[in-house]
Amino acid sequence: MQMLKRLFLATMIAATPVAIHAAAPAAAPAAAAATAAVTAEASSTAATESAAPGVATEVGSGAYARAQPVEGQGQPIPGGLDFQPQVTENGQYALWLNNVILLPLITIISLFVLGLMLWIVARYRAAANPVPSKTSHNTLIEVIWTLVPVFILVGISVPSIDLLAKQYAPPPADAVTVKVNGYQWYWGYEYPDHGIGEYVSNMLDEKAAEASGEPYLLAVDNRMVVPVNKTVKLIVRGADVIHSFAVPALWTKMDAVPGRLNEVTFRATREGVYYGQCSELCGVNHGYMPIAVEVVSEQAFADWVASKGGAMPGTADPGAAEATAVPAAATPDAASAAAAPAAPTATPAAAPAAAAR
């Protein structure tokens, strides 16, 4: 009995959903509106201005166009209970582990223990069993209730440790590296291998989100853009306090800790827009620093990189890369300058960060 109870607890802990997200609190403090206020219009203008037409000769033939999210994909649904549909192999594996192994096991064990208890309550109550047995040991049963849970746990550990290993597998050499900086209260993204300096990602206010057809409290002005079917390596750090970078549909969650570089990888197999939220209480606007990851085709990614003044690694010759480094460095400054009047709290933090580079 004790053993079964312990096993039940262990499986419950193992099955605790890692990535279910409730929507952020609906009541928006007035400050939130002020902080997260770069409008869609402003950001799209900034993006267009930062696109250097000269840079986009080889890789960026077309212009980057912002993708629209699909309902029920990469975002929570009203009344939703389950995990979001997973678009990475690891996410699908984890979902399978949860739905096919853990949930049935938990259900069977819970029902079995409940049945045992009901049977004991009914069969061995004082009225039905006036003279209780004085049996204190039964070797066979004790061996069974020790070994069966051991086998169950060992059985679970096989796919579980396999999943853990897959999640922490070293990224391949051609992985796209994105440096993720968590700030109070917005995110900064940086593509060191593509010559894209840090740009800031702020939440859209309600009007701007509605205008761009995106969910309020999840939509942002400048998304993280990554290519489909390619491993993305995130280097995550906190600039001020501990934040956590979490995107449920990508099965990705990593703490952003000041003074520490955490690494996590994902490989999205479907294009689309995937939303997430900061998942570590980080201050008054914790609920207003959402994450939007846009997964695009290889070509669209090259176009986006060009629009940001960067270059695909290996495509440009070293001289050209050096030449593009200057406009690339100018881009985040222009972006933060544009953001400055609308987001006063963003400026002090962003400026030293830009200077430090």
Q: Stretches 16-24, 39-47, 97-105, 281-289: which one binds Cu ion (CB under 5 A)? A: 281-289
In 3D space, the residue among 152, 139, 195, 194 whose CA is nearest the CA of residue 4 turns out to be: 152
Whether residue 185 has a cis bond before it, omega within 30° of 0:
yes
**How many residues of this chain interact with Cu ion, rule: CB under 5 A?**
3
Q: Stretches 68-76, 86-94, 226-234, 272-280: which one binds Cu ion (CB under 5 A)? A: 272-280
Residue from the set 278, 291, 316, 328 that interacts with Cu ion by CB under 5 A: 278
In 3D space, the residue among 324, 290, 298 whose CA is nearest the CA of residue 230 turns out to be: 298
- Looking at the DSSP bridge assignments, the partners of residue 199 are 189
Q: Which residue has the tokens 């309600």?
A: 206
Nearer to Cu ion, 272 or 287 (CB): 287
Min CB(280)–Cu ion separation in Å: 6
Residue 61, SS3 per DSSP: coil
As to burial, measured by CB atoms within 10 angstroms (0-12 exposed, 13-18 middle, 19+ buried), residue 306 is buried
Nearer to Cu ion, 199 or 304 (CB): 199
Nearer to Cu ion, 177 or 277 (CB): 277
- Pattern 189-228, binding to Cu ion, x per CB under 5 A? ----------------------------------------
Nearer to Cu ion, 60 or 287 (CB): 287
Min CB(181)–Cu ion separation in Å: 11
In 3D space, the residue among 59, 25, 64, 30 whose CA is nearest the CA of residue 48 turns out to be: 64
Q: Stretches 200-208, 212-220, 273-281, 329-337: which one binds Cu ion (CB under 5 A)? A: 273-281
The tokens for 98 are 């949860």
The tokens for 337 are 């300058």
Q: Stretches 24-32, 242-250, 332-340, 347-355: which one binds Cu ion (CB under 5 A)? A: 242-250
Nearer to Cu ion, 149 or 276 (CB): 276
- What is the helix (H) or strand (E) element at residue 199, kind and residue range? strand 196-201
Q: Is 282 in the site for Cu ion (CB under 5 A)?
A: yes
In 3D space, the residue among 252, 237, 241, 222 whose CA is nearest the CA of residue 36 turns out to be: 222
Nearer to Cu ion, 1 or 281 (CB): 281
For residues 339 and 35, give the distance between their C-alpha atoms in angstroms, rounded to a whole number: 10
- Pattern 126-165, binding to Cu ion, x per CB under 5 A? ----------------------------------------
Q: Stretches 19-27, 83-91, 197-205, 238-246: which one binds Cu ion (CB under 5 A)? A: 238-246
Cβ atoms of residues 24 and 287 within 8 Å: yes
Min CB(156)–Cu ion separation in Å: 33
CA distance readout (Å), 103 to 21, 95, 155, 247, 355: 19, 10, 14, 23, 51
Q: Is 267 in the site for Cu ion (CB under 5 A)?
A: no
Nearer to Cu ion, 217 or 278 (CB): 278
Min CB(241)–Cu ion separation in Å: 7
- What is the helix (H) or strand (E) element at residue 253, kind and residue range? strand 252-256
Q: Stretches 127-135, 240-248, 307-315, 324-332: which one binds Cu ion (CB under 5 A)? A: 240-248
Min CB(312)–Cu ion separation in Å: 31
DSSP string, 255-294: EE-BT--EEEEE-B-S-EEEEEEE-S--STTGGG--EEEE
Nearer to Cu ion, 278 or 349 (CB): 278
Q: Stretches 9-17, 120-128, 278-286, 325-333: which one binds Cu ion (CB under 5 A)? A: 278-286
For residues 90 and 31, give the distance between their C-alpha atoms in angstroms, rounded to a whole number: 38
Q: Is 243 in the site for Cu ion (CB under 5 A)?
A: yes
Q: Is 253 in the site for Cu ion (CB under 5 A)?
A: no
List residues binding Cu ion (CB under 5 A).
Answer: 243, 278, 282
